[in-house]
Amino acid sequence: MRTYLADLVLLLHFGLACFIVLGLGLIWLGAGLAWQWVHNFWFRLSHLSAIVYVAMEAIVGIVCPLTRWEDALRQNTGERRSFVARWIQRLLYYDLPEWVFTAVYIAAALATAITWFLAPPRRRRP
């Protein structure tokens, strides 16, 4: 049971990473193609908050709570990861020095913040 919960946390983590990475690309594309939804204030605020949180984790040097939660669920289970979990794990985690991740996260946060001003979000007026 714990393995399934760990797989669920991994899927959640992967979904968040996709939201951050694909979200910025879609905002850029949508701004160029005049897609109105990319200017949604709450979507943009959620996106900016997510990448800033990730960048701050890296700067401060703390492990992502989702990674810690997944590791805790997998600890002492003796079970193997599911097929989907193995592939998502390969897509999500890389064996690189920490400074590389910190630099990438900071660059992504800066790009997202700059995008906030170049293609600003809009609130709907009642």
Q: What is the 3-state secondary structure (H, E, C) of the chain?
A: CHHHHHHHHHHHHHHHHHHHHHHHHHHHHHHHCCCHHHHEHHHHHHHHHHHHHHHHHHHHCCCCHHHHHHHHHHCCCCCCCCHHHHHHHHHHCCCCCHHHHHHHHHHHHHHHHHHHHHCCCECCCC
What pTM does this model have?
0.85
Q: What is the pLDDT of residue 81?
A: 67
pLDDT in tens, 52-95: 999 999 999 999 999 899 888 888 776 666 666 777 777 778 88
Res 31 pLDDT > 90: yes
pLDDT of residue 126: 65
